[in-house]
Amino acid sequence: MSFKDAIRRSVLEGFANTDMPTSQVVTILAITFAIGIYIYFIYRLVNKSSLYDRSFHIAMAVISVVTAGIIIAMQSSIVISLGMVGALSIVRFRTAVKDSMDLLFLFWSIGEGIICGAGLFEIAVIVALMVTVGIFVLEFIPVKKKPYLLIINGEGSGYEGEAMEHIRSHCKDVKVKSRNLKKTGLDIIFEVRTDNEAKLMEELGRIESIKNISLLTHEGEVRF
């Protein structure tokens, strides 16, 4: 028997010996679903979004079960395994994940489905506990205060120097992100870090050339 025949026989026998009884399949999917529900509740605890997306929560909990089912099916037949690889390679998901934490939980759910589908339940539980501990520990680490976007709309351009003096007296970090000169006046966007928001806006409001002031919070870096 040649080397190629030995490899072919080994692969075929390996797939032939992985037929699972229905009770074992149900047990695997039930454990996977329990871990998916666990991920669901952890996400509810750490989610800071102001909008509740019920469909995303449900999808995140169930996607681990779907993944586990795919892994089980791929173990049962080499034909199904190759077919799954071909089918999944042409799937394209157009929904953008805007929050990095959402991406973490989606990948966590998919990973748990793969691990449980392979029958490695101890590893699945350990991973779930370690990820949970990591998330909550990192949540308690203090971080630098998030910056604000200070948007000033004024008449002319002479107010910038006076405004900058007030801004620097109340803000630690000041960056000019954008200047927009129009016929009616100058619009400036600053990125600032301050603990005296009300005092800063009150002093800027006393400048006659400034007509509108807006102070907005934002996550991370903003590019213009």
- Looking at residue 130, its pLDDT comes to 94
* Domain ranges across the chain: 3-139, 148-217
Residue 185 sits at φ, ψ, to 5 deg, of: 155, -165
Name 91's Cβ contacts closer than 8 Å, sequence gap at least 6.
Answer: none
- Looking at residue 125, its pLDDT comes to 92
Q: Contact 214/150 with Cβ under 8 angstroms?
A: yes
Residue 2 sits at φ, ψ, to 5 deg, of: -75, 170
* CA-wise closest residue to 224 among 188, 181, 178: 178
pLDDT in tens, the chain (224 residues): 555 555 455 545 554 445 667 888 889 899 999 999 999 889 888 877 656 677 878 888 888 888 888 888 777 665 555 556 555 555 566 666 667 788 888 889 989 988 988 888 899 999 999 999 998 888 777 666 677 888 888 887 777 778 888 788 877 778 888 888 777 778 888 888 877 777 888 888 888 778 888 887 765 544 44
* CA-wise closest residue to 194 among 143, 144, 142, 148: 148
CATH class of 148-217: alpha beta
CA dist., res. 187 & res. 190, Å (int): 10
- Looking at residue 222, its pLDDT comes to 46
